[in-house]
Amino acid sequence: MHRRTALSVSAALLVAAPLLSACSGQPRPGTAAVVGGERITTSAVQAQVNDVRAAQNRSGQAAAALVASTPHLDRQKLDAIIQSRIIDKMADTAGITATDKDIEDERRAMAEEQGGNDQLEALFLQKGAMSPGQIDRSLRSQVLFNKLVAKYGGKVEGPIQAAVKDLHIEVNPRYGAWDAAENRLGGAQPPWITQKTRTEQAPAGA
């Protein structure tokens, strides 16, 4: 399998808490989504957005173009966090893990392909809207997904649907709505990596 068949997923900052909907039926303040009964806070999403914006602004002449290319970065980051949870659920069900060495090997190989770590970080920032600190979490999901594809012989659509159903994903309308047909947050920018691997049924955004 080509090395870049993976999911572009950001670091997931999740805090166990009550469900998204409060007794009033309105989203619980400070909650961006609830996935698998765990609350994803708006502050966690914003922290990832801030990291990316800071990295974009360090890009010199390219900064303005990078910022302009990601107008809905908060939605993109939330989608990526949710996708990482889907992959984690699938891996847990399948008994699959990703070791530190797996992630290091994946990063080393990709850096070699790109001509060095600086080039790798620039690529992830430009194409995936990921800051340097978010890359290893994405690579972890990449390793897990590659192992899942190998385990299921490429037929991962069923396990994806099962994971999504078990996780009972709820999203604060501020960020849009969960698209059950596409298994991603509606309106979120399609991920640059998975666009190359649609035939493998990768969860979009992951």
CATH number at residue 50: 1.10.3120
In a domain, 58, yes or no: yes
Residues 21 and 9: their CA atoms lie apart, in Å, by: 26
Per-residue pLDDT, averaged over 169-189, amounts to: 86
Number of domains present in the structure of the chain: 1
Per-residue pLDDT reduced to its tens digit, 149-165: 999 999 999 999 999 99
Domain interval for residue 135: 15-200
Q: Does any domain span residue 140?
A: yes
Residue 6 has pLDDT above 50, yes or no: no
Of 111, 127, 118, 107, whose CA–CA distance to 52 is shortest? 127
pLDDT of residue 182: 85
pLDDT of residue 152: 96
Can you tell me the mean pLDDT for 33-62?
A: 96
User: Residue 164 falls within a domain, yes or no?
Assistant: yes
Q: How confident is the model at residue 23 (pLDDT cuts 50, 70, 90)?
A: very low
Q: In this structure, is residue 3 part of a structural domain?
A: no
Alpha-carbon distance of 170 to 80, in angstroms, equals 14
Statement: residue 180 has pLDDT above 90:
no
pLDDT band, residue 126 (cuts 50/70/90): very high
Nearest residue to 195 via CA among 65, 9, 8: 8
Note whether residue 205 is domain-resident: no
Do the domain assignments include residue 4? no
pLDDT at 53: 98
Q: What confidence score (pLDDT) does residue 183 get? A: 85
d(CA 190, CA 195): 7
* pLDDT number for residue 59: 93
Residue for token pair 């659509």: 157
70 is a domain residue: yes
User: Are 86 and 167 contacting, i.e. CB atoms less than 8 angstroms apart?
Assistant: yes
Mean of the pLDDT values across residues 182-202? 57
Report residue 190's pLDDT band, with 50, 70 and 90 as the boundaries: low
